[in-house]
Amino acid sequence: MTDHPTEPTTTDSEAEAVRWTTPPTDGGERLDGRSAALVSADRILTGRRGQVEGSLETIGIRTSSLSEVEVTQARTAGQGGAVLLRGRDILAVGTTAELEGHLAELLPDVDPNDVVRVDLPGTTLMPGLIETHDHLPTSGTDVEYPDYGPHEVARLTLNAARAARELLSEGVTSVQSLGARHYVDVALRDAVDAGDLRGPRIIASGPQITTTGGHAHHAGGAADSLDEIRRQVRHHHLMGADTIKAMATGGFMTDGSAPWFAQFTTEELRVLFDEAHRLGRWTAAHAHGTQGIERAVRAGVDYIAHASFVSAAGRSEFDPHLADEMARAGVYVDCTIVADLPGIIAADPTFAPPARQLWEHGVRIVAGHDAGIPASPQRAYVGGLQALDSVGLPRTEVLLAATSRAAVAIGRAGVTGVLAPGFEADLIAVAGDPSQDLAALHDLRLVVARGREFRPDRVEGLAASQAPTEAVGPSATLAEWRERSARAARHPEV
């Protein structure tokens, strides 16, 4: 009788185990997004405000005058902070001693010895970072609309996949895409959700809705009447967009579209946002000039990108009354404070987005960097947070702007951005304490996206630059416009 090996019988759990014959893994993951795991560190920043004004809620060993020996003793006594994960969710948050002491109640069906333990001395655990304004498909290019000829869709998709990995390598576990041709961001979102590619949670907008020849019209979302606007919104919905983005004003990157002029009337914007809300979509508006900001706010938008208050005089002219109105309306605002903006402001202060003033008026500032456009690479995310700090936003506010507040700003309240039971397990560990020094965010020790660890690629992060930078982007455009009015002024009256 020949020796035929018997066909192995496969139980359900084995079938699950062999699903990853060629696992889409980066190797060395400690957290697989399925098991129960206890991640411990010196402390946790939960993403909530603390009791003391201007502080952040902290669990575990606070950064104070403790010596290294005292910190070690406190950790040994279980006074560090820990997060208990089950699959893709957070089950509990507390001190290490509290969670270890309650494992049997928290996980009645799991042998405590089977709980994966990841201990990270010297680190702070905090919610994964959130980029609220990104252009995934043009990432890594030096023009806003690269020409890939017949390979356009494929190349944009590949760019976007690379950008998503780069963001995750910076500790960004959620990203709102605010402009993507061919709905590349929708497809990428689905691929990440399905586990085919690693990347942050993606909130996708597809192409921006604009006017014919208006800002970013190359993206293909032009609409010129109320009916066309409704049709565009419905088409975006059909194509699977999460956020509907309108170009409320012109922009710096499209020739001949002046950022201080509104592109749509208030009525047009109202129809756009109402239709989006009717379909359960989130809404965002690109708005530089005062008129466009005002119209978008009055039309009921959820999120405003830029809010630079740039005027026809070619400079930022802050409007405190409009800021109050924005605060009352509760809109979320990114001032697009990119890593080299402090340097740009040093060289030419005319274009200084008023993040600090808006915040003083009670406007909800979040961390959006227009990442993916030229001069704002994804890898400069943390540098952008440092830049937000250097233009006057308190560090506590910067951290909220990058985590829990950002989660609400992208329509994911109660899902991510906070370390608390019931939230998805999006978290990072960084060496040191970012509430004391944002530079700590450059030293990532753990990235977990929806319960599954990601081993970051080697991405060279960019710190905020204070060095005066030659005018590029907005300041270059503004300089051109100022020159144009200066020329017009020297013309004789005829």
Per CB under 5 A, residues contacting Zn ion are: 370
Give CA–CA dist 308/449, Å, rounded: 33
Q: Which is nearer to Zn ion, 75 or 245 (CB)?
A: 245
Give me the amino acid identity at 1: M
Rg of the chain over CA atoms, in angstroms? 24
Report in angstroms how near the CB of residue 264 gets to Zn ion at its nearest: 17
Contact indicator for 448, 371 with CB cutoff of 8 Å: no
Q: Which is nearer to Zn ion, 215 or 364 (CB)?
A: 215
Report in angstroms how near the CB of residue 258 gets to Zn ion at its nearest: 17
Report in angstroms how near the CB of residue 203 gets to Zn ion at its nearest: 14
Report in angstroms how near the CB of residue 161 gets to Zn ion at its nearest: 19
Sheet of 332-334, strand order: 243-247, 282-287, 303-306, 332-334, 364-366
Give me the amino acid identity at 408: V
Q: Which is nearer to Zn ion, 332 or 423 (CB)?
A: 332
Give the residue nearest to Zn ion (CB).
370
Residue 32's Cα: distance from chain center in Å?
A: 24
Report in angstroms how near the CB of residue 178 gets to Zn ion at its nearest: 5
Q: Which is nearer to Zn ion, 370 or 389 (CB)?
A: 370
Report in angstroms how near the CB of residue 261 gets to Zn ion at its nearest: 17
Q: Which is nearer to Zn ion, 252 or 423 (CB)?
A: 252
Contact indicator for 36, 107 with CB cutoff of 8 Å: yes
Q: Residue 96: helix, strand or coil by DSSP?
A: helix
Give CA–CA dist 245/412, Å, rounded: 16
- For the chain, give me the number of helices (H) and strands (E)? 16, 16
Give CA–CA dist 218/351, Å, rounded: 26
DSSP-derived secondary structure for 13-76:
HHHHHTT-SS----S--S-BSSSEEEEEEEEEEEEEE-SSTT-EEEEE--SSS--HHHHHHHHH
Q: Which is nearer to Zn ion, 58 or 283 (CB)?
A: 283
Q: Which is nearer to Zn ion, 47 or 368 (CB)?
A: 368
Report in angstroms how near the CB of residue 491 gets to Zn ion at its nearest: 36
